[in-house]
Amino acid sequence: MDANAPVGSGEAGADDLEAIRMRLRQEILATRGAPARSPPPVEGRPIDLSRSSFDRFLAEHERVAVDVWAPWCGPCRAFSPILETLARRLHPDVAFAKVNADDEPEITGRFGVEGIPTVLVFRGGRLVDRWAGAYPGEVVEERLRRALGLGTPPTRARPAR
């Protein structure tokens, strides 16, 4: 290959790019010491994300629910305990995260968030569902399970009346 030839020019360039991609993928996997989708421990609670950690978090977890919120938002504050409960209940199948809309306008703009609270649901790094508004825990759990392919929740005993 000609050292002065532009990268990606012709078939040899495409082959070289594929070889570079494969080498970089192997290096990344080797530095992690695990397969690409092995999530680091998440303790059954939402993790605060910023623009610098957002994409990495999505890449490290197969199923993610992100709460976009703000500290001044009353419905956000009321919805937060519901998501914290679901984070414990659905751990380790779903990783939960929070993004402060005021601090991270790049993320809210990227996903077209216009109202809060908004929940963004990702599977394999791809947005598969989203909604705005605070809903009861049962509704949220059912929607997450459906969007993330988790099946139905275990039956809970109802208290005697």
- List, by residue number, the catalytic residues: 73, 76
- β-bridge partners, 56: none
Query: ω into residue 92 within 30 of 0, thus cis?
Result: yes
Nearest to residue 117, comparing CAs of 106, 127, 128, 108?
A: 108
Computed from CA positions of residues 12, 15, 21, 23, in that sequence, does the dihedral angle turn out positive or negative?
negative
